[in-house]
Structure 1
Amino acid sequence: MNETITQICDFLHAINLPFSLTSIENETFLPGVNLNQGALQIDIDKLKYAGDILHEAGHIAVCEPIYRAQLQGDVYKNGLRNGRQKQAMHGEEIAAIAWSVAAVKRLNLPMKTIFHDDGYKGASHSLINAFDNGGIFGQPLLDVWEMTSSEHGFPIMKKWIREHRWIHELPTT
């Protein structure tokens, strides 16, 4: 295992994000990483980019806790089959991107770790520019879910794993 992968795995262990180093036989959305019942599987031999670990870990971290165990394979295909709302899943996608940015900043890794040339359908450079220049992309959701706070400033995280569902409770009278 290279140093970056070891550093990422140590981080995932420290924040209690479930993962295992294992052989993955099925085809996966990203080479060498798979979501299996809310846990991340990492196949070091098939992994193409270390940053893909952080992006997929971000999906687990920002998912509503009641749906986390349903995370399986391709988040979108399988999530829609399990009754997840498309809007919630798109919000979680951008939050997972922001989460992975906070993680690379915490680990002092280059942004290219997650925004490599083969990722994000050619938009990696634009995403790096957006985050490096104070653009807002997913951070407000992390704030609403009380994972970060506007008072401390992104990318500082208060919690690395979402603990509750964001709903407004109606006052009882």
Structure 2
Amino acid sequence: MHEHTKRICDFLTEINLPFRFKDVETDSFLPGLKTVNGTLYIDNEKLLYPGDILHEAGHIAVCEPIFRPQLNGDVYKNGLKNGREKQAMHGEEIAATAWSVAATSYLNLPIEVVFHEKAYKNARESLIDAFNTGGLFGQPLLTAWDMTCPREGFPKMQKWIRTHRWINELS
């Protein structure tokens, strides 16, 4: 097992984010990773990039709690099946990205672990630049969901798993 994979999985255990080492037999959005009923399956033999674990775990962590057990496969496709608003899913995508960057900071890993050479469809460099220069990309949602530390702000986190039901407060 790659050193980064071990550190990341130890972190997931520490924050009680559900994951299992399991063969991922089907094609998945990211090689070696699959979300099943809100649990992240990790196939260490097929996993190409340890940082992908953080991004997929970020989807589980930032999902509104009542919908978390319904996360399966490609989480973008889930949003429309279970009645969630597409806009909420896009917000969770950018929040999951920010969450994964906060996790790299917490774990003292380089940001390139998440933004590896095959990540984010050619947006890798601009995302690295945005996070390194204090640009806002997902952090406001983590703040709205009371996940970041009030005094220190991003990337310091006070909660790694979302408990805040923000959508209902908007109606």
| TM-score range for the pair, normalised by the shorter chain length | over 0.9
1:2 is aligned to 2:2:
yes
Equivalent runs, 1:1-173 vs 2, <5 Å? 1-166=1-166, 167-168=168-169
Q: Secondary structure at the match of 1:23?
A: coil
| 1:108 counterpart letter in structure 2 | N
Is the CA contact 1:65–1:163 (under 8 Å) kept in the aligned structure 2? yes
Shift of residue 137, structure 1, vs aligned partner: 0.5
CA–CA distance in structure 1, aligned partners of residues 2 and 138 of structure 2: 29
CA–CA distance in structure 1, aligned partners of residues 169 and 88 of structure 2: 15
Supply the RMSD in Å over aligned alpha carbons.
1.2
Shift of residue 76, structure 1, vs aligned partner: 1.0
Shift of residue 160, structure 1, vs aligned partner: 0.1
Q: Secondary structure at the match of 1:140?
A: helix
CA–CA distance in structure 2, aligned partners of residues 169 and 117 of structure 1: 38
Q: Secondary structure at the match of 1:41?
A: strand
CA–CA distance in structure 2, aligned partners of residues 164 and 39 of structure 1: 19
The TM-score with structure 2 as length reference comes to: 0.96
| 1:53 counterpart letter in structure 2 | I
Query: After superposition, what is the alpha-carbon deviation per residue over 1:1-52, rounded to whole angstroms, capped at 9, x for unaligned?
Result: 1111000000000000000011110110000111000010000000010000
Is the CA contact 1:117–1:124 (under 8 Å) kept in the aligned structure 2? yes
Greater CA radius of gyration, 1 or 2?
1
User: Taking every aligned residue pair, what percent have the same amino acid on both sides?
Assistant: 63
Which consecutive residues of structure 2, in runs of 5 or more, have no partner in the other structure? none
Shift of residue 150, structure 1, vs aligned partner: 4.6
CA–CA distance in structure 1, aligned partners of residues 17 and 147 of structure 2: 14
The TM-score with structure 1 as length reference comes to: 0.95
Which consecutive residues of structure 1, in runs of 5 or more, have no partner in the other structure? none
Is the CA contact 1:70–1:79 (under 8 Å) kept in the aligned structure 2? no
| More helix per residue | 2
Shift of residue 164, structure 1, vs aligned partner: 2.4
Q: Which portions of structure 1, spanning 4 or more consecutive aligned residues, are displaced by more than 4 angstroms?
A: none
Is the CA contact 2:146–2:164 (under 8 Å) kept in the aligned structure 1? no
| 2:24 counterpart letter in structure 1 | I
